[in-house]
Amino acid sequence: MTTRTPARRLVGVLTTLVALAAAGGAVVAADPTAAPAAAATPSYVALGDSYASGTGTRSYVADGTSCQRSTYAYPSLLAAQRGWSLNFRACSGARVPDVAATQLSALSATTSYVTVSVGGNDAGFADVLTECATPWWAGDCDRAIDQAQAYVRSTLPGSLRNLYAQVRTRAPYAKVVVVGYPRVFMGEDCNAGTWFSPAEQTRLNQTADLLNSVTRQEATARGFTFADPTARFTGHAVCDDVAWLNGLSNPVSESYHPNRPGHASGYLPLVGTALTGSSSALTTTTLQRSVASGDEIAAQQRGYARRDARIEPDPFRAPLAGR
């Protein structure tokens, strides 16, 4: 038997490397900054507030929280449609600090897709709606709107800037889409029990536009895509013939949020296109798959229940309640 000395083994290795190089097989050192290999199943993390969790769809998973996560909301529908794994962290009532403190831990270097919907609660939009829904002699709608708009202009930009920086740090390779808010009103109040004037509805819609403008500016500055639902929801506001947003509802917490058609026909194609460049209509199979995922979503989110308990929902309240 022939014994190879270390020198001979070294020569053999060098010969092999030379042969590989000659054949076009380069030996390349690993790039520590390169993105990790794509997972077999893309991972999707949904961050944000009630407009992402699904408040307004009237059906929520039993995850031991008050987050009102729904399998009829666009994050669940999107994951079912695309075959993605979903970590559904969006929670009703969440403000920017809540997203930072309780939701960002779901992100990692292997996260493929992220959606973020937040800012409305920070501006106190539910309180503004409550104030404006009361009769003129019982509330001060203009003052409430002025305060909300001042907050959006002065304080919200910095809060969003810091949040988006943290999202990018935690999910450096993810496609991130920041999702905006629709205009709620169409100029007519058809709900008995609310007193929105046409002028107040115009100013409330202008506040939604301002919120979207500020959010878009901060999102695009970070390199994220902004998905603006304004055009898609036009003709589907509260009191429109085919409304994608609830008016005054029972329970009242469902009020002034997207309903099931709003998520399926409004947000799903909008967000799907923003994330991947393509969209497709919701099918019965996709809806069934999404609804069937409820137990899995609930089991996963129970693991976050303690931190989610820090979030206090701030829903619309019935006009004149407590006055």
Distances, alpha carbon 26 to alpha carbons 33, 35, 37, 285, in Å: 19, 20, 20, 47
CA–CA separation, 183 and 233 (whole Å): 7
Catalytic annotation present for 236: no
Catalytic annotation present for 257: yes
Task: Give the active site residue among 43, 50, 76, 290.
Answer: 50
Radius of gyration of the CA atoms of the chain, in A: 24
DSSP state of 105: G
Spatial CA neighbour of 54 closest among 306, 238, 294: 294
Task: Give the active site residue among 70, 257, 263, 290.
Answer: 257
Distances, alpha carbon 41 to alpha carbons 38, 64, 86, in Å: 8, 27, 10
- Look up residue 122 and give its two tokens: 């920070």
Task: Tally the C-alpha atoms within 13 A of residue 154's C-alpha that lie toward its C-beta.
Answer: 6
Catalytically active residues are 50, 257
